[in-house]
């Protein structure tokens, strides 16, 4: 009887070990961390939010911020995973990475699919246009009124904003990312390239004067967004701990010093808006 009980206990223990191995490879983020696996951060090439250095290491203020919060939590085993912007949410939910750091705006449509941290920055949109802004493009309504062609990245929040202002599907060109946005405007295949002010300013600054950036303050208040860090919904336990650590880190002298080189300043802080509010209003 004792031998039979011992065998049953051994079998049960082996089963638990096997399940633990499965959880370490494919389970929630907390299980991966407990098993000693790296935290995989997914991002696209979105300067200055998140992008790879020449050696593949994560750069950009959202990456730096996220890594800073994780370090405060006691985690420094990080694995960067670069993908195209449109693959971030599908890749997160498919388990190809654990956190999305790419400077993703919190939107109601995205809140249905993933969980967001509390906002870490307030983001205004802007356009890159030909020098002198010949079509007088300042906001999405001016695009619609002038029948202008807008180019932006596949999956960008600018698509929803443009459609809401009356820009037709036929006048919205979608490309993989910033490099292609700049190329389309320079080649006059599009009248305006749309993205966040951070990204559009970087494109204009790097263009040698071939394009200029519009004033983000010309945009209506409801076009401003808040960006957060994306998690799978079944990682809410880890996200709660992340938010707690983030509350102490956001806006601290340590954090502001770390992100300053990417253009993030005090005006970039998110203010008092919560993720719950943003999910309901954007």
Please give the domain boundaries of the chain with CATH numbers for all domains.
38-122+227-281 (3.40.190.10), 125-223 (3.40.190.10)
38 phi-psi bin (left φ>0, alpha ψ -120 to 50, beta other): beta
User: What CA–CA distance (Å, rounded) separates 116 from 243?
Assistant: 10
What is the pLDDT at residue 27?
52
What is the pLDDT at residue 267?
83
Low-confidence ranges of the chain (pLDDT < 50): 1-26
Tell me how crowded residue 145 is: count the other CB atoms within 10 A of its CB.
Answer: 14
Coil, strand, or helix at residue 89?
A: helix
**Angle in degrees, CA 247, 258, 205, rounded to 5:** 120
Coil, strand, or helix at residue 148?
A: coil
Interval 14-49: pLDDT, tens: 443 333 433 333 358 999 999 999 999 999 998 899
User: What CA–CA distance (Å, rounded) separates 259 from 157?
Assistant: 23
What is the pLDDT at residue 221?
83
What is the pLDDT at residue 150?
98
What is the pLDDT at residue 229?
98
What pTM was computed for the model?
Answer: 0.75
């Amino acid at each position: 009887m004792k031998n039979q009980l011992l065998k049953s206990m051994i079998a049960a223990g082996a089963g638990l070990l096997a399940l633990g191995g499965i959880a370490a490879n494919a389970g929630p983020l907390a299980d991966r961390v407990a098993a000693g696996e790296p935290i995989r951060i997914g991002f696209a090439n979105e300067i200055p939010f998140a992008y790879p250095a020449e050696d593949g290491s994560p750069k950009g203020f959202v990456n730096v911020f996220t890594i800073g919060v994780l370090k405060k939590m006691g985690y420094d085993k990080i694995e960067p995973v670069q993908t195209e912007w449109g693959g971030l949410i599908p890749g997160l939910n498919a388990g190809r990475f654990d956190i999305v750091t790419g400077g993703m705006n919190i939107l109601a449509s995205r809140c249905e699919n993933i969980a967001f941290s509390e906002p870490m920055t307030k983001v205004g949109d802007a356009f890159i246009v030909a020098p002198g802004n010949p079509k007088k493009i300042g906001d999405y309504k001016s695009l619609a009124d002038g029948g202008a062609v807008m180019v932006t990245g596949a999956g960008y929040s600018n698509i929803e904003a443009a459609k809401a202002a009356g820009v037709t599907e036929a006048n919205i060109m979608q490309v993989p990312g910033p490099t292609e946005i700049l190329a389309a405007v320079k080649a006059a295949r599009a009248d305006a390239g749309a993205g966040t002010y951070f990204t559009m300013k970087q494109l204009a600054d790097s263009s040698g004067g071939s394009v200029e950036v519009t004033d983000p303050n010309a945009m209506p208040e409801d076009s401003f967004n808040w960006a957060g860090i994306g998690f799978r919904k079944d990682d809410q336990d880890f996200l709660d701990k992340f938010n707690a650590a983030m509350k102490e880190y956001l806006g601290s002298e340590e954090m502001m010093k770390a992100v300053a080189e990417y253009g993030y300043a005090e005006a970039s802080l998110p203010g008092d808006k919560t993720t719950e509010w943003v999910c309901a209003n954007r």
